[in-house]
Chain A
Amino acid sequence: MSHTHAAAGDLVEVGGLPWRARIGPYLPSLVVLVAAVVYGSVSSPYFLNFSALLVNTGRYVEIGLLALALTVVIINGDIDLSVASNLAVSAATMGLLVESGVGIEVAAFAALAVGLGLGAINALFIVGLGLPSLVVTLATLALYRGLAQILLGDRAVTGYPEAFIGVDQISLLGDWARVPLPLVLFLVVALLFSVLLTRTNFGLACYLTGSNQQAARFSGIKTDHTRAVAFMLCGLMAGAAAIMLTSRLGSTLSNVGLGLELLAITVVVLGGTDIFGGRGTIIGTVIALFAVMAVRESLVISNVNGQVQDAVVGVILILAIIVPLTVAHLRERSSQRRLR
């Protein structure tokens, strides 16, 4: 059980724990990551081509941004199914503003503001009215996607300035190791989230709220405030992901990011975050993102179709939950047998 501490917002030094306990929560995603990389490099010489691999990460950064914020929401004991729809509304807003001649900076800022606002609406229903987040965000999943459709209809917004398009093509370190800018941005944001969860009062409030909301409240933690902030953070990240995605694609459709919420939640859970709240880490989510990326890219190289890629990720998600449970179960049994 000792590995739970590392994943529950604890400040106590874990130096005394055996290495197995320290990496315990990350083990499933690490195994998947290594396996996928080995499989990928065996099946194609291009897989380990460093620059190609890194360029592809740009595509996963959007999922990653959503997953980071979802990690916080899920640790709080909530869920946000509406992130991808929120992303679509944010992207649509940005597109319409650019079309009407507003500068891209202002439009991007508006995307963040809309994302934040829609997150706040979720918070209003969930925290303010005390409704279950699963149902509310199921409703806003449809509501926000509908809003994006109302805004854009079935046309595509193009006409973004050249300078804005192709953020994923920008590399930081020149040609010898093309580190895409989105990846760097993602890692910086991940670091901020990690600090937020492990080193701030807000972080502790999240873990305690998710573990036992009533007890947290009775300890003077502002649980409503904490949960509302998490939903707004989630909205903000949806806005940020919208900007990234638009820059990468160079156009906006109302179905942008459709279904990304399931992928992002899969990443969070694969990373060891407890779907019922109270436990989880940003490092886990980051590793899981790279694991999912490696799996999908190695399947792409083997010419496996997109839906089947998703299915493989689905299998991994389920195994990532079952295998540790079974191992723990067996270990407990054998240790008890030894005692007798």
Chain B
Amino acid sequence: MAVVECRQVSKWYGTAKVLDDVDFTANEAEIHVILGENGAGKSTLVKVIAGLVSPDRGQVLLRGAALKAGSVAAAQAQGVALIHQEPRLFPDLSVMENIWIDQGSGWWSRRRFRLSRMAGRTRELLGRLGSSVSPDARVAFLSVADQQMIDIAAALRKDLKVLIVDEPTASLTPAEVGNLFRVMRELRDQGVAVIFIGHRLEEILEISDRITVLRDGRLVRTLSRDEANEDELIRLMIGRDIEAVAHAPTAAVGEVLLSVRDLSAAGHFSDVSLDVRRGEIVGIGGLVGSGRSEVLEAIFGVRPRSTGVVSVGGRSIGSLAQAVASGMGLVPEDRGRYGLVLLSSVLNNVSAPNLDLTSRLGIRRPRREQRNAQDIVARLRIRVSSLAQLAGQLSGGNQQRVSLGKWLVRDLDILLVDEPTRGVDIGSKREIHGLLRQFADSGKAVLLVSSDMRELLEVPDRILVMREGRITGGLSIDEADEESVMRLAAGIAA
């Protein structure tokens, strides 16, 4: 039976139509995956269902009754819950308070905290999800996976009919993903309609009962799992075929360019030593939270180090300024927070790290800056309406290209890249991989952190694996496969 029914739902943001006459149905007791490239309208569609966004046209029926458009409270009353990639919790409140905060719908709810009873119910809820977090713990101090479970527990507390899970797995470890999927299946078996948005095709094929593919705001097709396979899904998502790029390592590896010795940052990682040679892409694998991003940040000088030496071509690097001067650039994982200033123009973003090249005595030279930015836009095929366009208005793939491209203005020697294709559409992904390879082939060095197993196995020349803040092993590209990387990452003996 259909629990959620979207009828001809359309939505504009400004002049852009993000949903175009979408008729979408999710049944009870099924896991329904929504698939699509970035900007296909997946998140907007589920936000419409959850009452966070009111559609400009069309309506949503929940169990046959029309949902009051744009009312979170109405959707919640109907048993709809939306879980985000980044859990929307209250870091200053305790686990228990986070779960019960919306109990009682009126805003003058005088219902008292019955502490002991609530703590018991909280433990019970978390227990169902396989989580053993203390109800009194402050959420600010918990891991992302724990926080997601609290988010789900808050939804479970109520009479849950529709659970929407929006791209949750990117920041989870495989064990945590496994646990999440177990929970989703259990809920499905209890009759809940589970709507799941994901990017990783293997995962999607594993978990789904039905799959709906969106492209450019339109619903392309809904198919059952039996009808689906990876190639078919990719074709539906992008509207054409792409061939996988086979790994083609280069032979010309030169002298050591970046050398890291016994680097530690208290509380994050310790005793990390590694070398990257000219012409080489070195991958760092490992679980989220194993300290990989922190290593890149410490090398680049934006994170304080407790011990250790970083040197480029034999010269020791102590600060961020020295790192940039020595030809290092960092493309961080979180574009919106660290990679780009979203409310500033593409030009300003590209200019920021290169002011030393374009200015004289601290005075900016507009023409130089524009020339550089135009170069990069052309070279990386960034789609912008003008250089004055705000970075935040670009699509994910184009944002990532700007975040990478701003460093390519310089005659850079070393690129540190952290999850360069996370949340990026498949076309851009290939191009970014190509750019990294091209960069290395011109005699430069790349250090790549990735959680995407396929990327980790295809792009680098060799792989280091980290676990709990230490490098647990290195693999040549020939001996590396999914299993060998996972063994090192999880600390399982071969």
Contacts and interface: CB of A to CB of B under 8 A. Distances in A.
Nearest to B319: A222
Interface in A2-34: 2, 4-5, 8-12, 14, 16
Interface string A98-109: 000000000000
Contacts of A212: 337, 340-344
Interface string B362-401: 1110100110000000000000001110100000000000
Contacts of B364: 11, 199-201, 203-204
B14 A208 contact: no
Given A212-B344, A340-B57, 6 more contacts: A11-B347, A11-B364, A204-B352, A215-B339, A219-B353, A220-B321
A1 interface: yes
A215 B338 contact: yes
Given A202-B362, A332-B14, A335-B15, A208 B341 contact: yes
A202 B339 CA distance: 20
Contacts of A247: none
Contact of B362 (A12, A200, A215): A200
Interface in A162-206: 199-205
B25 interface: no
Contact of B338 (A203, A214, A335, A339): A214
A220 B348 contact: no
Contacts of B351: 11, 204
Interchain residue pairs A-B with the least CB separation, the first 6 = A219-B352, A12-B388, A11-B366, A220-B353, A220-B324, A201-B355
B388 A5 contact: yes
Chain B binding surface SS class: mixed
A212 B344 CA distance: 9
B349 interface: yes
Nearest to B359: A201
A215 B344 CA distance: 11
Contacts of A11: 347, 351, 364, 366, 369-370
Nearest to A221: B352
20 contacts: A4-B343, A5-B345, A5-B388, A8-B344, A8-B348, A11-B369, A12-B345, A12-B347, A201-B359, A205-B355, A212-B337, A215-B337, A215-B340, A217-B302, A218-B339, A219-B349, A278-B343, A336-B56, A339-B15, A340-B57
A30 B341 CA distance: 30
Interface in A222-265: 222
Contacts of A199: 363-364
Interface of B: 12, 14-15, 56-57, 302, 320-321, 324, 330, 332, 337-345, 347-349, 351-353, 355, 359, 362-364, 366, 369-370, 386-388, 390, 406
Contacts of A215: 337-342
A216 interface: yes
Nearest to A2: B388
B322 to A, nearest CB: 11
Contacts of B14: 332, 335-336
Nearest to B16: A339
A93 B432 CA distance: 61
B362 A10 contact: no
Contact of A208 (B321, B324, B352): B352
Nearest to A217: B302
A211 B390 CA distance: 12
A112 to B, nearest CB: 22
A208 B12 contact: no
Contacts of B344: 8-10, 207-208, 211-212, 278
A170 B466 CA distance: 72
B343 A8 contact: yes
Q: Give the size category of A's interface with B.
A: 35 or more
B345 A216 contact: no
Given A10-B347, A11-B369, A200-B362, A211 B12 contact: no
A319 B342 CA distance: 28
A221 B356 CA distance: 11
Contacts of A335: 14-15
Contacts of A207: 344, 348
Contact of B343 (A16, A211, A340): A211
B338 A222 contact: no
Contacts of B386: 12, 16
A218 B332 contact: yes
A216 B343 contact: no
B387 A214 contact: no
Contacts of B338: 214-215, 218
B56 A9 contact: no
Nearest to A6: B388
Contacts of B332: 218
B337 A220 contact: no
A278 B343 CA distance: 8
A200 B321 CA distance: 19
A92 to B, nearest CB: 34
B371 to A, nearest CB: 12
A279 B324 CA distance: 27
A211 to B, nearest CB: 5
Interface string A129-160: 00000000000000000000000000000000
A290 B347 CA distance: 33
A201 B358 CA distance: 10
A217 B320 contact: yes
A211 B341 CA distance: 7
A216 B341 contact: yes
Chain B CB within 10 Å — which of A14, A204, A205 has the most?
A204
Contacts of B345: 5, 8, 10, 12
Contacts of A216: 341, 352
Contacts of B320: 217, 220
Chain B CB within 10 Å — which of A211, A217, A222 has the most?
A211
Nearest to A213: B341
Contacts of A217: 302, 320
Contacts of B337: 212, 214-215
Contacts of A201: 355, 359, 362-364
A4 B348 CA distance: 13
B444 to A, nearest CB: 18
Contacts of B340: 212, 215
Contact of B12 (A8, A218, A221, A336): A336
A335 B13 CA distance: 11
A10 to B, nearest CB: 5
Contacts of A14: 388
Nearest to B338: A218
A204 B356 CA distance: 12
B348 A200 contact: no
Contacts of B359: 200-201
